[in-house]
Amino acid sequence: MLILAGFSQRLSYLHIFSFDLSKEFYFNFLLFSLTTLVVGYIIRVRQIKSNQRKLSFLVNKRTKLISKQKDRIDRQNKIVKQQKDQSDKLLLNVLPSYVVKELKEHGQVSIKTYENASVMFIDIVGFSKIAERINPKFLVNKLNNLFSQFDKIIEKYGLEKIKTIGDAYLTVGGLGVDFKTNPIKCVSAALEIQNLMQKKKNKSFIDKRDENWTVRIGIHTGDVITGVIGTKRIAYDIFGSTVNIAERIEANCEPGKVNISEDTYNCINMFYNCTNRGEITTKNTGDINMFFVNSLKLSFREKNNFSSNSWFNSIIESYSKLKFNFLKLKIFGIHFLKNHLSSNLYYHGPHHTLDVLQSLDQICFYEKVKPTDFFILKTAVLFHDMGYIDQYENNEIIGVKYAQKFLPEYGYSKIQIEKISELILATKVPQKPKNKLEKIICDADLDYLGREDFINISDNFFRELRENKILKSKKEWDQIQINFIEKHNYFTEFSVNNRTKLKNNHLQFIKDQYK
């Protein structure tokens, strides 16, 4: 700055009117100009940086404000979503999911009809008397705990809880989904509920409490109508004769039992041991053929308890996904055989088909047959003796024609029908199976040879042959049996291990008679 001041002074007083300037003057002038520019630049840069700092501060302040506002909005949205989820969850506890969706989209629910739905009523035996001697608050709490346990079982099997009326619990399966296996799942849930009640009874006995609750369960399968009633405190409900019949079946059930109609029985008897109660007169619904469900059949349950095994679970899961409907076909097939087979088929009647179907279960379980092949085998058994409707000899080819005629109506593909046809033909005597499935159906067809009931079945076979004028004497029949059994061999490991010994004993018995 001193240089600039000195230079300025000299410029002002010494050379202001002089045109003969020295080199020193130009040098100082240039230095002055450059210094001025540098100082100006530095000042400007500092101003820009100061403005940038101010702007950055304002931007950061604004960003923090926006971030806080965003966080507040996110928290509010989260709260709204939680409240919405709670509201939806509450609705789904009251109404089925498709009803909730339809209400949200349209504000109302259309009336729907479902075929082959299974309605189950559960009722506590003697509840009115129980209510008279128990504190009301304790009673409601105990009832709530019990029904909450029922809810878990119902949810486990994919059933739809409809409502509770006092001590009555109403649920249904097959509303829009699972129309093939819902009777099976209903019965499975019912047996599990009765098992739960038995455990509670045993615990009550051990704890020396006299408060034992027992339930009756009734199930019927048929058509139902569904809809939402009212506009305030809306209620989803089911209607129709199926509901009324299910209620009557429950009312006619014995305590601790599961009582089902014939329609339900036809859908589940392949898997469950049942007791036919015959026709029972009911109020307003006439005589109804009823059955007690006792347990799962041996092949489908665990060895040490009555719960289902993994093979049964895989069969049901697989069947629900298959396109064909074997259970519906079975009802038709047995009915068709009963109506069209001759009454003098004492061996090859519908009862033989049912017997082979049952024998098939044990062999398939032991041989670890895949679920799809299990139903293919079952289907072949339904048709393997259907040819007897038209002719006695070479009837297998007629059975194939019946299969090719009816199976497409029940969703079977061409490949599946061809496979079933080959299995039917494999049962022709003498049997010459070419693969595992053919070996299984052949052994199931002649399973009786190595069973305790062989003599009775053999006598029925002889009676059939005699009335159809194929044989005349018992001695002739014994000779045929001796020749046949001596040449016969079982093919599967199960039948070899579990039927051969007794079959040989039967052979010796016939030989002793023949002498």
Same domain, 291 and 379: no
Mean per-residue pLDDT, 448-471: 94
Whether 282 maps to a domain, the answer reads yes
> What's the gap between Cα 188 and its chain centre?
11
Write out the residue range of the structural domain in which residue 222 sits. Answer: 97-308
Q: Omega before 430 cis (within 30°)?
A: yes
Same domain, 265 and 336: no
Q: What's the pLDDT at 262?
A: 93
Whether 289 maps to a domain, the answer reads yes
Whether 73 maps to a domain, the answer reads yes
CB half-sphere exposure, 3, CA atoms < 13 A: 12
Mean per-residue pLDDT, 248-270: 93
Whether 314 maps to a domain, the answer reads no
Give the pair of three-digit tokens for residue 172.
Answer: 């249904």
For residue 368, the 8-state DSSP code is T
Q: Which of 46, 76, 94 is the last residue of a domain?
A: 94
Mean per-residue pLDDT, 502-515: 89
Amino acid sitting at position 178: D
Mean per-residue pLDDT, 21-45: 78
Q: How far is CA 95 from CA 146, 223, 277, 365, 485, in A?
A: 21, 20, 36, 40, 62
Distance from C-alpha of 208 to C-alpha of 302, rounded to nearest angstrom: 31
Q: Which of 11-20, 21-30, 157-166 has the highest mean predicted lDDT (pLDDT)?
A: 157-166
Q: What CATH number does the domain containing 357 carry?
A: 1.10.1300.10
Listing DSSP states for 274-342 in one string gives EEEEEEEEETTTEEEEEEEEEEE-GGGB-SSSSSBPHHHHHHHHHHHH-SS-HHHHHHHHHHHHHHHS-
pLDDT of 205 higher than 80: no
Q: Worst-scoring range by mean pLDDT, 90-99, 342-351, 420-429, 447-456?
A: 90-99
Give, for 122, the enclosing helix (H) or strand (E): strand 112-124
How many other C-beta atoms lie within 10 A of the C-beta of residue 440?
A: 28
> What's the gap between Cα 220 and its chain centre?
19
User: What is the separation, in whole angstroms, between the first and last Cα of the chain?
Assistant: 148
Q: Please, which residues have CB within 8 angstroms of residue 340's CB and are 6 or more apart in sequence?
A: 389
Whether 29 maps to a domain, the answer reads yes
7 band by pLDDT with thresholds 50, 70 and 90: very low
Name which of 419, 450, 448 is nearest 436 in CA terms. 419
Whether 316 maps to a domain, the answer reads no
Amino acid sitting at position 497: N
Give, for 481, the enclosing helix (H) or strand (E): helix 474-487
Mean per-residue pLDDT, 166-175: 91
Q: Worst-scoring range by mean pLDDT, 77-86, 225-234, 391-400?
A: 225-234
Same domain, 303 and 200: yes
pLDDT of 56 higher than 50: yes
pLDDT of 187 higher than 70: yes
Name which of 219, 236, 218 is nearest 227 in CA terms. 236
Count of structural domains, the chain: 3
Same domain, 347 and 218: no
Give the pair of three-digit tokens for residue 163.
Answer: 């409502």
Mean per-residue pLDDT, 244-259: 94
pLDDT of 303 higher than 90: no
Distance from C-alpha of 468 to C-alpha of 450, rounded to nearest angstrom: 26
Unique residue bearing structure tokens 């041989």: 367
Same domain, 356 and 496: yes
Mean per-residue pLDDT, 36-57: 83
Decide if 359 contacts 346 (C-beta within 8 A).
no
Decide if 356 contacts 443 (C-beta within 8 A).
no
Q: Please, which residues have CB within 8 angstroms of residue 293's CB and are 6 or more apart in sequence?
A: 187, 190, 191, 258, 259, 260, 268, 272, 273, 274
Q: Which of 255, 279, 308 is the last residue of a domain?
A: 308
Mean per-residue pLDDT, 447-460: 95
Q: What's the pLDDT at 352?
A: 96
Q: What's the pLDDT at 105?
A: 73
Q: Please, which residues have CB within 8 angstroms of residue 177's CB and are 6 or more apart in sequence?
A: 158
Q: What's the pLDDT at 79?
A: 83
Torsion, Cα of 139, 145, 146, 147 (10° steps): 100
When comparing pLDDT for 430 and 131, which is higher?
Answer: 430
How many other C-beta atoms lie within 10 A of the C-beta of residue 413?
A: 12
Q: What CATH number does the domain containing 209 carry?
A: 3.30.70.1230
Same domain, 137 and 174: yes
Q: What's the pLDDT at 17?
A: 45
Same domain, 484 and 368: yes
What are the helix (H) ranges across 14-96? 23-94
pLDDT tens for each residue of 373-397: 999 999 999 999 999 999 998 999 9
pLDDT tens for each residue of 80-119: 888 777 777 766 666 677 677 777 777 667 788 888 899 9
Whether 317 maps to a domain, the answer reads no
Unique residue bearing structure tokens 């299995």: 423
Q: How far is CA 88 from CA 81, 95, 97, 99, 101, in A?
A: 10, 10, 9, 12, 10
Buried-exposed string 258-290: b where 16+ CB fall within 10 A, e elsewhere:
bbbbbbbbbbbbbbbebeebeeeebeeeeebeb
Same domain, 89 and 130: no
2 band by pLDDT with thresholds 50, 70 and 90: very low
Whether 264 maps to a domain, the answer reads yes
Q: What's the pLDDT at 293?
A: 96
Same domain, 458 and 510: yes
pLDDT of 124 higher than 70: yes
pTM over 0.85: no
pLDDT tens for each residue of 315-335: 999 998 899 999 999 999 999
Q: What's the pLDDT at 49?
A: 82
Q: Which of 268, 283, 308 is the last residue of a domain?
A: 308
Mean per-residue pLDDT, 257-273: 94
Same domain, 415 and 358: yes
Share of the chain above pLDDT 90, in %: 57
pLDDT of 4 higher than 50: no
Decide if 361 contacts 371 (C-beta within 8 A).
no
Same domain, 119 and 236: yes
Give the pair of three-digit tokens for residue 369.
Answer: 């047959």
Q: Which of 1-10, 177-186, 371-380 has the highest mean predicted lDDT (pLDDT)?
A: 371-380
Give the pair of three-digit tokens for residue 349.
Answer: 């009647």
Q: What's the pLDDT at 13?
A: 46
Q: Worst-scoring range by mean pLDDT, 56-60, 120-124, 342-346, 397-401?
A: 56-60
Distance from C-alpha of 238 to C-alpha of 225, rounded to nearest angstrom: 6
Unique residue bearing structure tokens 């009324």: 244
Mean per-residue pLDDT, 304-313: 85
300 band by pLDDT with thresholds 50, 70 and 90: very high
Treating both helix axes as pointing N-terminal to C-terminal, what angle do 396-406 and 326-340 enclose, rounded to 10 degrees?
130
> What's the gap between Cα 254 and its chain centre?
28
Q: What's the pLDDT at 20?
A: 55
Distance from C-alpha of 362 to C-alpha of 271, rounded to nearest angstrom: 11
Treating both helix axes as pointing N-terminal to C-terminal, what angle do 350-366 and 371-384 enclose, rounded to 10 degrees?
160
Give the pair of three-digit tokens for residue 365.
Answer: 């379980």
Burial (CB < 10 A; 0-12, 13-18, 19+), residue 180, is buried
Q: Worst-scoring range by mean pLDDT, 170-184, 317-331, 354-368?
A: 170-184
Q: What's the pLDDT at 390?
A: 94
Same domain, 351 and 282: no
Distance from C-alpha of 221 to C-alpha of 240, rounded to nearest angstrom: 11
Q: Worst-scoring range by mean pLDDT, 38-47, 393-402, 438-447, 450-459?
A: 38-47
Share of the chain above pLDDT 70, in %: 90
